[in-house]
Amino acid sequence: EISACLVGSEMCIRDRSNGLVVREGNQVVVIDTAWGAAPSLLLLDWIDRELGLPVSRLIVTHFHDDRLGGWEVFAERGVRVVASKRTLELAGVTPSDAFDLYTLDSGETMACGSMEILSPGSAHAEDNVVVWLPSHKLLAGGCVMRAAESGGLGNVADATISEWANSIRRVQQAYPLAEQVLPGHGSIGGRELIQHTIDLAQAAQSEAAKPK
């Protein structure tokens, strides 16, 4: 089941994970897939029905299925898939003409239409990025950012816990004007989610450092 909630003039699509559908002029940009081909098809059908605008780009924030799964559905409709080269390597996806690939070092940014992509460094995954929407003062944090109701870091199978807090500090420094923060899972919140994530990461790092 897909539900939708308005966030300013953005449309936030929530299933078991969060993403964004952003109107950019007479086109639409999607941040992260709907976690697989079938729900991504539902999402694209919803965009056709409710917005009636073409999807120009899909921005992928890291290689896990809740962000990348179903990218083929977008590509089949001529949507440009914006992802880092490392994301495709980690996912085992062969690059094709459907992708607009990039490489960013930790702390580097790049423009993507009206948005900005920041690579904060390893945290939830080696390749994770965040997306900044300056006109709305909204940060799409993906799974590097934790919701207020989260008491831990969630899935850490591919995480670098020792670097997570430092990576989020780069986000905190880069976007002091952020007023809304969308985590990868859970409720949208304010700028306090950035510090909340740092606190959780520091606690996890301290726990990991304890003698066994």
What amino acid positions are annotated as catalytic residues? Answer: 62, 64, 66, 124, 155
Q: What are phi and psi of 60, to 5 degrees?
A: -105, 125
Query: Taking Cα atoms as reference points, which of 97, 72, 95 lies closest to residue 84?
Result: 95
- What's the CA gap between 199 and 141, in Å, rounded? 16
| CA 89, chain centre distance (Å) | 18
The terminus-to-terminus CA distance of the chain in angstroms comes to 43
b or e along 115-154 (b: 16 or more beta carbons within 10 Å of the residue's beta carbon)?
Answer: bbbbbbbbbbbbbbbbbbbeebebbbbbbbbbbeebeebb
Report whether 17 contacts 66 (CB < 8 A). Answer: yes
Residue 209, C-beta contacts closer than 8 angstroms, at least 6 positions apart:
none
Q: Residue 127 in 3-state DSSP?
A: coil
